[in-house]
Amino acid sequence: MTAVLQVEALDGGYGKLTVFRGVSLAVARDQTLGLLGANGAGKTTLLKTIAGALPSTKGRVLLDGRDVTRMPAYLRARAGIGLVPEGRHILATLSVRDNLALTRAIEGHRPDLPPFEHRVAEVYAMFPRLAERASQLGGSLSGGEQQMLAIARALLLKPRVLMLDEPTQGLAPIIVQSLAVTLAGLKGRFAMIVVEQNKAFLEQLADRILQVRSGTLVAADGRPATDN
Amino acid sequence: MNLFTQSVISGLMTGAVYTFLGIGLVLVYRTARILNLAHGETFAITGVAAALLAGAGLPLGAALGLAILISLAFATGLHRFVLRPRAEWPAGTLILITLGAAFVVRGVLILLAGTDPLSFPVMFEGPPVRFAGGAMPLQGIALVVLGFGVSAGVGIFLAATRAGKQLLAAAENPYAAELLGVNVERARITAYAIGGLLGALAGVLLIPLIAVDFQSGLAMTLRGFIAAAISGMSPVGVLFSGLGLGLFEAMVGAYLGALYQDPVMFCVLILVALWQSRNIRFGGSRRA
């Protein structure tokens, strides 16, 4: 397996507080890894650290074999690490179109990118509701629409690896089902890591599921995960 | 001379300056969530530096250019070397640090230039334009046109350009902006630089008409903040609040007397603070 994303013995947390320790995992381009865990297990902190929004205290993060451990979050986004954060973090005072256009910050850093209009047309085809709401403020969207927008923004980054942090949180069951179908349609285009508490949702999507328990990764049978 | 017309002219000129200063404060507040109490020092530094350099024999254009660069270096250096390394500190502490920086600048200005007011020649010479019983110097016309023109330009930059929207996004949610590839640090330093440039331009245009001394900086910060707060920290709204504030202050000076200007402006500050206390928040996410 050629890993797009490789995490080696990573420690991280907030200041002096270590939240997760010794995490190693690897995800190939056509793989979807599910991370299951209770509140406070360290799932969100792990994703934020892989994305560069929090510093790691030990270990390495490799993207396509390139060490990005010391890279700030905006450079990792430009390099191809996309994160749909918990709570979506939509820019409420900008329109849907402006939310999407912010991803143009990566242009000039990725020579292989198709023109922005082509990329936007692609995400509008995937989420027609966003095209209808293009001029509406991000803050005025419903929870499901905001989740669509958060995923669309990450897709516009043309990620090598897409991480989704609790994408079903606060969504109605019918929207969760539609989200599962959408994400299943994306499989194979890039590596995916999906963090969830919703086990049934993860089982529909993930090729394999690991559990996060008190800041360490364990396999489904409870043994320490030896992922790479 | 018609007192009312002359007050309107005076108010337009000071209003333009308050707009300049208010926009700088708004930009820094919106990107870094702190109130930069050293912001008005860009006005004082530019004025004192230009006066000293022109007095030392440098051509006026070169003196003004160098003074603007010094002011820019101060504004961006304050962020890069003083505030940014302390980004995790409480917002109140960072605001006090900017106040401390303002007093440091005061001390340096006294050491360099003494306590007497200084000035330098106007850039736009010629007889004043007279209308409706009032007179407006050419420099004043330039100040009003440039003041509102540049300020409107900043508003358009924020609302209609990619870089401006990145700056707004960095202000609203730096975490989300970084995840989308936006260099938040560059957006912040841009905000400080634009603020510094506007403060310096205000100094270059107004000081030949009124002079400057070591105390001018904080007075300008205060007026700029009132204008910014009235607008609800809106880069577009401050265009109008700055103008309104300038006109109001000129009317107070004309009809109550110059001695009443400061007490009245402090009362306005308190009223605005009470009115806007629910809307203006410092701190929150990672700052500076």
Question: Which domain, by its residues, includes B48?
Answer: 3-122+136-276
pLDDT band at A221 (very low <50, low <70, confident <90, very high): low
Rg from Cα positions in chain B: 18
B40-60: per-residue pLDDT in tens?
999 999 999 999 999 999 999
Test A85 with B176 for CB contact under 8 angstroms.
yes
> Which strand ranges, in their side-by-side order, compose the sheet holding A56-63?
A17-28, A3-14, A56-63, A66-67
* CA closest to A47 among chain B residues: B179
Helix (H) or strand (E) holding A172: none
**DSSP state, A105?**
G
Q: How far is A75 from chain B (nearest CA, A)?
A: 6
- B236 at A interface, C-beta within 8 A: no
Does pLDDT of B286 surpass 70? Answer: no
pLDDT at site B280: 66
Partners of residue B162 in chain A, C-beta under 8 Å? 101, 104
- B176 at A interface, C-beta within 8 A: yes
- In angstroms, the Cα distances linking B242 to A49, A118, B13 are 44, 43, 10
Tell me the percentage of chain A whose pLDDT exceeds 90.
Answer: 76
B64-93: per-residue pLDDT in tens?
999 999 999 999 999 999 999 998 888 889
The CATH number assigned to the domain holding B200 equals: 1.10.3470
Count of CA atoms in the C-beta half-sphere (13 A) of B121: 14
Question: In this structure, are residues B44 and B217 in contact, taking their beta carbons and an 8 Å threshold?
Answer: yes
**DSSP state, A19?**
E
| Beta strands A161-165; A191-196: pairing state | parallel
CA dihedral A110, A112, A118, A124 (to 10 degrees): -60
Residue B63: which residues within 8 A CB-CB, separation 6 or more? B49, B50, B53, B54, B120
Whole-number Å distance between alpha carbons of A61 and A65: 9
Q: Which two tokens stand for residue B144?
A: 């009003």
Which contacts (CB < 8 Å, 24+ apart) does range B248-251 have? B248/B11, B249/B11, B249/B14, B249/B223, B250/B7, B250/B8, B250/B10, B250/B11, B250/B14, B251/B7, B251/B11
- Does B285 map to a domain? no
User: B33 or A120: which carries more pLDDT confidence?
Assistant: A120
Could you give the 3-state DSSP secondary structure of residue A224?
Answer: strand
Q: What is the mean pLDDT of residues B261-280?
A: 82
Query: Considering CB atoms only, which of B165, B172, B177 is closest to A101?
Result: B165
From the list B191, B189, B170, B192, the residue with the least C-alpha distance to B181 is B170
Does pLDDT of A23 surpass 50? Answer: yes
Partners of residue B172 in chain A, C-beta under 8 Å? 91-94
Maximal CA-CA distance, chain A: 50
Partners of residue A120 in chain B, C-beta under 8 Å? none
- Does B288 map to a domain? no
A-facing residues of B in 132-171 (CB < 8 A) are: 162, 165-166, 168-169
B156-176: per-residue pLDDT in tens?
898 889 999 999 899 889 999
A157-206: per-residue pLDDT in tens?
999 999 999 999 888 888 899 899 999 999 989 999 999 998 999 999 99
The total domain count for chain B is 1
- Does B54 map to a domain? yes
A193-205: per-residue pLDDT in tens?
999 998 999 999 9
- Does B284 map to a domain? no
Question: In this structure, are residues A192 and A164 in contact, taking their beta carbons and an 8 Å threshold?
Answer: yes
Tell me the percentage of chain A whose pLDDT exceeds 70.
Answer: 96
| Highest CATH level, class, for A3-179+186-219 | alpha beta
Q: What is the mean pLDDT of residues B216-220?
A: 92
pLDDT at site A136: 96
Q: How far is A99 from chain B (nearest CA, A)?
A: 9
CB pairs A-B closer than 8 Å: 68
Q: Judge residue A147's burial from the number of C-beta atoms within 10 Å of its C-beta, 0-12 exposed, 13-18 middle, 19 or more buried.
A: buried
pLDDT at site B285: 45
Query: Considering CB atoms only, which of B173, B181, B183 is closest to A89?
Result: B173
Test A94 with B180 for CB contact under 8 angstroms.
no
| Beta strands B129-131; B134-136: pairing state | antiparallel
pLDDT at site A2: 82
- Does B131 map to a domain? no
Does pLDDT of A220 surpass 70? Answer: no
Residue A131: which residues within 8 A CB-CB, separation 6 or more? A124
Test B179 with A98 for CB contact under 8 angstroms.
no
Q: What is the mean pLDDT of residues B100-107?
A: 96
B120-154: per-residue pLDDT in tens?
988 888 889 998 888 999 999 999 999 889 888 98
Maximal CA-CA distance, chain B: 60
Q: How far is B271 from chain A (nearest CA, A)?
A: 27
pLDDT at site B288: 47
Q: What is the mean pLDDT of residues B201-216?
A: 91
Test B165 with A53 for CB contact under 8 angstroms.
no
**DSSP state, A168?**
T
Partners of residue A106 in chain B, C-beta under 8 Å? 181
